[in-house]
Amino acid sequence: MEPGTLVYDPRTDRVGEYQDRTGPYVLLRPVGGGREWQADPARIRPATLDERLSAGVRAVNDRSREVLSADPNRPPLPVRGCAACEELAARRDTARAAFDGSAVTDANVLLRKHQREEHGGESTVRRIFRYVPYTIVQDPSALPEYEAHCVSGEDADCGAGSGLRSAPAEVEEWQRRHTQETRHLRYRRCFADYAVLERRA
């Protein structure tokens, strides 16, 4: 097994990056880094796509929490849709543009105070991502569209187009007629459809 391969360890119910063998065990490291652990090589298996994606999302969330806890003095972000937050943020921007560091600090203090009292702290700026499996399928309620444009010509493309059609045969018939009339032979064809995402059970 190559180092870096993502595997699932059923004993810990975790996905880890394969590192190396250590005696009768294999050494795994959490996705995104962290403390390694030993696993039984007979029980681990390659991680599925869903397991790999979930582990990646968990790593992003963990890094986000680390950044937030490691930098408690970061400038607070306004809560979208809150007039008071936006007014204080605008006041801070004006002070920053005028290189008035004292006024910037005052605006940050007021914004934090407002968020603690009205929004329960700054938790609204923390984003937790969750992986939800979806399948992309063609929308059966919308017909696909086909189109062709003539790109024949020595100095410039002809530019004639078939217009949107509901079947490829209609576009091909237009191409044949256009070629008969102009002797042009080169076309750029386009296909478009509508897709929907369905949540997997």
> Which of residues 48, 68, 88 is at a domain's end?
68
Range of the domain at 193: 145-199
Same structural domain, 117 and 97 = yes
**pLDDT of 68:** 47
> Residue 98: inside a domain, yes or no?
yes
Mean pLDDT, 10 residues at a time, over the chain (201 residues)?
91 92 90 86 92 82 54 72 87 88 86 79 52 81 91 87 92 95 93 86 67
Asked if 186 and 178 count as a contact pair (C-beta separation under 8 A), the reply is: no
Tally Cβ neighbours within 10 Å of residue 16: 24
**pLDDT of 76:** 81
Give the number of domains in the chain.
3
Dihedral sign (CA 55, 57, 60, 66) = negative
Asked if 16 and 4 count as a contact pair (C-beta separation under 8 A), the reply is: no
**pLDDT of 8:** 95
Closest CA to 39 of 58, 56, 22: 22
Same structural domain, 55 and 91 = no
Asked if 149 and 188 count as a contact pair (C-beta separation under 8 A), the reply is: yes
> Residue 111: inside a domain, yes or no?
yes
Amino acid making up residue 91: R
**pLDDT of 121:** 54
Query: How does DSSP classify residue 124?
Result: G
Place of tokens 């063609």: 138
Half-sphere exposure of residue 5: CA atoms within 13 angstroms, side-chain side: 14
pTM of the model: 0.37
Dump the DSSP string for 151-192.
---SSS----B---BSSHHHHHHHHHHHHHHH----EEEEEE
Same structural domain, 117 and 85 = yes
**pLDDT of 34:** 77
Same structural domain, 64 and 78 = no
Residue 167 in tokens: 């079947």
> Residue 1: inside a domain, yes or no?
no
Q: What are phi and psi of 57, to 5 degrees?
A: -65, -40
